Amino acid sequence: MAGGAREVLTLQLGHFAGFVGAHWWNQQDAALCAPSEAAAPPAELCPDVLYRAGRTPHGRETYTPRLILMDLKGSLSSLKQEGGLYGDAQLDAAIAWQGKLTTHKEELCPKNPYLQDLRSAEGVLSSDGIWRVRSIPSGKGPPPLATATAPKPLIPTESSVRVWSDFLRVHLHPRSICMIHKYNHDGEAGRLEAFGQGESILKEPRYLEELEDRLHFYVEECDFLQGFQILCDLHNGFSGVGAKATELLQDEYSGRGIITWGLLPGPYSLREPQKNVFRLLNTAFGLVHMSAHSSLVCPLSLGRSLGLRPEPPVTFPHLQYDVVTAAATIPFPLVPGQSLPDALVQLGGPAAWTPLSACGGPCGTRCFALSVVLRGLDGARHTSRLAPGTALPSPLHACTTGEDVLAQYLQQQEPRVRSSAHLLLAPCNVVPPYPRLFSPSLSQHGLVLDGSPPGAAVESIPVLGALCSSSTLSQTLGDLARDLSTLDVRRWASFLDAGVEQADVEEALEELGSLAQCYRGGDSLTD
């Protein structure tokens, strides 16, 4: 039991959601494993909100994500559907047949070298063939290695990662993974491409009952369930799975919050017209249906547009990546010796964060409500450290707490906006397998350096994240509706054959128009 924590159950729907989710859970695991001297105060973060305590059949304690994920046949690589904690022998049903048996064994996928390295660090294989998991201490998370020096971890490379499980560092409960064997992850045939296909999956008793069974398992052991977090692919048929899943959650668990993150990959190519049209249709239908059944829906993408016209990818000044309305500053640009008021004055206006919801920039938009979280700044940096009698560079330097500094900054930028500001001491840990995306101008703890590169790898960074309800959504949803209205859907018969009718397209257009109208600029928060 979670001991009074307000639990959240996470659902991951789709392979791209699996990649985002793997990074998300690795971040949680990194926070659990952080050295005690760098840990946040106990009241700051409560892992029991997202994790559950359990016990293997051999009596070993476990601490696993409270998670249900759905993906397609062939998407797990070397990861077993039942996970690696509880052992195959305990999950296999006893065979009563006494006659001759023929065994057909599928060739195993080679395990990623990174995962082999991780497995050797987190337990041992005993002589009886059972994987012995290390005990979970009262402080939560894996204990330190017993050896004097921990082995240097391998870092996954781009060529070594084919699927999200190739860099997932957390163990999953046997009830977490729900495979959809009806469709294939690889190959050109049997793909889950259209919204209607996804909807039909959870209309089948087999998959609906399996999802309901897993929901009941996790929900019934919660003491104070506050709601659900959904990570869902928008660009493929999983948008239909997400639509039915949010509808099910709203019907079965009325009154619980449902936060849905609609995920889309980054920039796309115009050379694949069918894929682009299906992406547009799936995104439109997914946003319309999931917004009807969710408390909050936020698209996340490294692309700048939801429509048919590709835009350049999102850029960050201190990140180097190939190609997440949300916004972020990654890392938060703080130089040695600077305080939070200094950094915010240097950042200036709305450019303090970069949009991550494919909704364009903040310039010329009207913000209705804003929630900002800044984490990873040492408490000594929260307020100005100017000598007594020094002239104050800005009103921010007069604030006496970090929360006041951030709140005052938001008030300056958006005077009539309902806003909330939160500061956390715990940084964002970016140890392996977090990808090496950072420029050489960052220190080991993510501070921006002016001199020569430090040489040490970045291990943690300060991060600012924001959720904003603004008028930019009106234009984004309106543009999506206009792109949809220009399509002759009859040309894409395979999308209609999946269970969507022309009348459904007209209804989606109308709903998109209504949503866009809700976010038109005005003087007050629109309901």
Q: Which residues pair with 69 in a beta bridge?
A: 12, 177
Q: What is the DSSP string of 420-465?
A: EEEEESS-EE--TTS---B-TTB-TTSPBPSSS---SPP-EE-EEE
Give the pLDDT of the chain (527 residues) as one tens digit per residue. 445 689 999 999 999 999 999 999 999 988 887 654 444 455 578 899 999 999 888 888 889 999 999 999 988 877 888 876 776 544 444 445 566 767 666 566 666 665 665 555 454 434 343 444 444 444 554 444 333 344 555 566 666 678 888 888 888 999 999 999 999 988 777 899 999 999 999 999 999 999 999 999 999 999 999 999 999 999 999 999 999 999 999 999 999 999 999 999 877 677 788 889 999 999 999 999 999 999 999 999 888 788 877 677 777 777 766 574 677 888 888 888 899 999 999 887 655 788 888 876 666 678 888 899 999 999 999 999 888 888 999 999 999 999 999 999 999 888 888 889 999 998 998 887 787 888 888 888 888 887 666 667 889 999 999 998 888 899 899 999 999 999 988 898 889 988 899 999 999 999 999 999 998 865 444 33
CB under 8 Å to 52, separation ≥6 — which residues? 2, 7, 63, 64, 65, 66, 173, 218, 221
pTM to 2 decimals?
0.86
Which among 123, 118, 131 has a CA at the least distance from the CA of 167? 118
pLDDT at res. 285: 97
Q: In Å, how far from its chain's centre is CA 522?
A: 31
Q: Which helix (H) or strand (E) holds 132?
A: strand 131-133
Q: In Å, how far from its chain's centre is CA 81?
A: 21
Measure the CA–CA gap between 474 and 359, rounded to whole angstroms. 9
* Number of Cα atoms under 13 Å in the Cβ half of residue 515: 26
Q: Mutual orientation of helices 205-220 and 238-252 as an angle, nearest 10°?
A: 50
pLDDT at res. 126: 42
Determine contact, residues 423/403, Cβ cutoff 8 Å: yes
pLDDT at res. 266: 78
Tokens of 425: 């001491």
Strands 123-125 and 131-133 turn out to be antiparallel
Ramachandran sector of residue 87 (left: φ over 0; alpha: ψ -120 to 50; beta: rest): left
pLDDT at res. 130: 43
